[in-house]
Amino acid sequence: MSNYVTDPRFAEIESHRPYLVRYALAQLRDRELAEEAVQEALVAALEGVGRFDGRSALRTWLTSILRYKVIDLQRRAIADRARLEVTDFAAETGDEAWMDDLFDDTGHWRDAPQSWSNPEAALEQRRFWAAFEQCLDRLPVAGGRVFFKREVMGEETRSICDSEGITESNCWVILHRARLSLRACLEKTWFGGEARGDGR
Amino acid sequence: MAAEPVNCRKAAQLLSQARERALREDERKALDHHLGLCLQCRNFKSQLEFLQEAAKLFASGGP
């Protein structure tokens, strides 16, 4: 490994590790396997970094390598499938009682969405992305995974439901809940009055 | 079909589901009517659009 560590691109490639683990976790649902896939992908990336031509984003290139490692590990993990398919959805769907925390008896927002000032500018700030990742981490496990597949990877809802083994309407509930939770989290940690004007 | 009025709770749900399926005409009408009256739900709609954009950018490591 020592020759990798001295490669000037090592730190840059390494900085994408948290994203890649999240990507792998969305599909493998098993932290150990996900980290194994990422480790293999990063080693392959460092070996092949000469082939990276810079036409796509580094993260996109790394993700394309990881995708193959994930498929590989999925095949190897197939024997464990029964264990992996024990879903964590029960607590996240069920009835609509969770919405009572967000809406009052008359159906009004308890914590009304504010108008966010200059959201486009946030996208260009490194600190915003740290806040975004923290908010993703606060989502319930299944919600985080489904949101990641749907909005980050751009998978079709139907294919997500199939691979998760849940109904389409359960998928909608999970996504809705994840979106509500993310928007509340970002409003609090980034777009809220307290976070504004602190020199970011 | 006559559009049944919706509240914020229902409007938010429809806004989210509109990203997964085509809304029925009565749903769309009721939602549009509500959005015309409710700034908070219009804010939520913009935030959903922002989340979608941010998630896409996240996949390529930022802007």
DSSP annotation string for B9-55: HHHHHHHHHTTTSPPPHHHHHHHHHHHHH-HHHHHHHHHHHHHHHHH
Q: Give the residue from A99, A98, A102, A105 showing the smallest Cα distance to A187.
A: A102
* Contact status, residue A41 vs residue A20, Cβ threshold 8 Å: yes
Predicted confidence band of residue B7 (pLDDT cuts 50, 70, 90): very high
Q: Does the pLDDT value for residue A79 go beyond 70?
A: no
Identify the pLDDT of residue A82. 42
Of B41 and A160, the one with more pLDDT: B41
Residue A61 has pLDDT above 60, yes or no: yes
**Rounded Cα gap, residues A46 and A24, in angstroms:** 18
Is B14:B23 a contact under the CB 8 Å cutoff? yes
Share of residues in chain A with pLDDT > 90 (%): 40
Please list every residue in chain B whose beta carbon sits closer than 8 Å to the beta carbon of residue A15: none
B10 touches chain A (CB under 8 A): yes
Q: Do A112 and B19 touch (CB under 8 A)?
A: no
Q: What angle do CA A77, A79, A84 make, to 5 degrees?
A: 65
Task: Work out the average pLDDT over A62-85.
Answer: 72
Is B31 an 8 Å CB contact of chain A? Answer: no
**Distance in Å, alpha carbon of B1 to nearest chain A alpha carbon:** 23
Q: What pLDDT score does A103 carry?
A: 94
Separation CA A68–CA A65 (nearest Å)? 6
Confidence of residue A167 (pLDDT cuts 50, 70, 90): confident
- Give which of A115, A170, A188 to mutate to test B binding, by max B Cβ within 10 Å: A115
Inter-chain CB proximity A60 and B47 less than 8 Å? no
ipTM: 0.93
Q: Which residue of B has its CA nearest to A152?
A: B55
Other C-beta atoms lying within 10 Å of the C-beta of residue A5: 10
Q: What are phi and psi of A170, to 5 degrees?
A: -65, -40
pTM of the model: 0.74
3-state secondary structure of A43: helix
Q: Is the pLDDT reported for residue B27 higher than 60?
A: yes
Across residues A155-170, what is the average pLDDT? 86
Q: What is the model's pLDDT at position A107?
A: 94
What is the signed CA dihedral for A96, A99, A100, A102, rounded to 10 degrees?
180
Note the pLDDT of residue A199. Answer: 40
For helices B39-59 and B25-37, give the axis angle rounded to 10 degrees. Answer: 110
Closest residue of chain B to A100, computed from CA coordinates: B9
pLDDT digits (tens, 9 = 90+) for A1-44: 445 556 677 888 899 999 999 999 998 888 888 999 999 999 88
pLDDT (tens digit per residue) in A80-114: 554 434 445 555 555 677 888 899 999 999 999 99
Q: How far is C-alpha A186 from the chain's CA centre?
A: 15
Residue among B48, B54, B32 nearest A124 (CA): B54
Look at residue A100 in the predicted model and tell me its pLDDT: 86
Q: Does B62 touch chain A (CB under 8 A)?
A: yes
Q: Alpha-carbon distance A157 to A42, whole Å?
A: 29
pLDDT reading at B53 higher than 80: yes
Contact A178, B20 (CB under 8 A): no
Nearest to B43 among A114, A147, A151 (CB): A114
Rounded alpha-carbon distances, angstroms, from residue A188 to A64, A114, A184: 34, 10, 6
How long is chain B?
Answer: 63
| The pLDDT of residue B1 is above 90 | no
